[in-house]
Amino acid sequence: MPAPKAENRVAIPLDLPGGLRFPPDGLQVEASGRAMGVDWTLKATSPPDLPVEALTRAVQASLDAVVAQMSTWEPDADVSRFNAAPAGTWRPAPEDFAEVLACALDMAQLSDGAFDPTIGRLTDLWGFGPPGPVAGPPAAAALEAARALSGWRRLEFDVKARRIRQPGGLALDFSGIAKGYGVDAAAEALGRLGLAHFLLEVGGELRGEGVKPDGSPWWVALEHLPGEAANQAPIVVALCGASVATSGDYRRYMLHEGQRLAHTIDPRTGRPSESGVACASVVHPQCMRADAWCTLLSVLEPEEGLALCHARQIAARLLVRTKRGLEERLSPAFQALLEEP
């Protein structure tokens, strides 16, 4: 199995499939596009009778469907219609919408509200939502009013009937999970077309299936930030039937009086996260789950987040801001990926 350069640290999933030395048959193709406000790219070994145009359409249609249901930037999206619905109104939840909501509520419960898909009012108030940037932090009264309207326990979700009840003023925000779901949905669409070997990236979230043309895994490098220890080797992950997602406070933030205010809101305080986590990366079979875990780990204090990862066997890598600079923290499940078999 060809491997990355020796100076890299190599993370290999424990359930990596066998037979990776045998290159797949087919044509090497690439496709790209734009959706969900980000660029997407696809590298694949495609059967000769499967045109690249069909692959492009499959990915684009999958991502566009997620936008149509879950983007608060689209006034006619299902999520926007729910957010604008009168108090007491029941709204239908399409199948994809319901799947993401169920996962989001599960993450809210296991984290005791550190992940919460109902903080849309707070996201807007801090200038990270559709209304656009704001000049500075909100007034205390406005912050408390938005917090009062938020809270995942206020939401009624009739799973069997696939419908949700608007309690009044509650605003869903799937920005911490929907992009990962889009990756999964697009990957499944490609699989239905018969594509078995590909690497799909949507705005920094990745999923790999099968192997590269030379028979080796899809190698993906985790982000290396300025300020990391110079003697700390970069990490590359083998993605074969796995996904990796990354979230960081260096991507979107507000500068106020010289202070960086992260775009990730802590639902428990209603304010930008002050956890000190600069970057969180998670390897998981589902990109949706990886995406949500990254959001959650950006909110929790590092040790609290790693303890939760340990309890749930989540492979996570954190870069934490300290007085000594950026420090790397690994969950036991991630450390196991780096250990020699």
Q: Do domains 75-165 and 215-341 have the same CATH topology?
A: no
Average pLDDT (189-195) is: 96
> Which tens digit of pLDDT belongs to each residue from 278-317?
999 999 999 999 999 999 999 999 999 999 999 999 999 9
Tens digit of each residue's pLDDT (9 = 90 or more) over 158-188: 999 999 999 999 999 999 999 999 999 999 9
In this prediction the pTM is 0.92
Contacts 24+ apart (CB under 8 A), 130-139: 130/72, 130/73, 133/254, 134/254, 136/256, 137/256, 137/261, 137/271
Task: Name the CATH code of domain 215-341 (choices 3.40.50.720, 3.30.70.2860, 3.10.520.10, 3.40.1550.10).
Answer: 3.10.520.10
DSSP 200: E
- Lowest-confidence range among 116-130, 148-162, 250-264, 284-298? 250-264
Q: Hey, how many other C-beta atoms are within 10 angstroms of the C-beta on 48?
A: 8
What is the structure's pLDDT at 218?
A: 93
**In DSSP terms, which residues pair with 283 in a beta bridge?**
244, 315
Whole-number pLDDT of residue 144: 95
CATH of domain 24-72+176-210: 3.10.520.10
CATH class of 75-165: mainly alpha
Domains of the chain: which residue ranges? 24-72+176-210, 75-165, 215-341
Q: Percent of the chain beyond pLDDT 70?
A: 89
For 182, the token pair is: 């889009």
- Collapsing DSSP to helix, strand or coil, 154 comes out as helix
What single string gives the DSSP state of each residue in 203-214?
A: TTEEEEES--TT
> Which has the higher per-residue pLDDT, 289 or 226?
289
- With H, G, I as helix, E, B as strand and everything else as coil, classify residue 219: strand
Mean pLDDT of the 326-340 span: 91
The answer to whether 287 and 304 have CB atoms below 8 angstroms apart is no
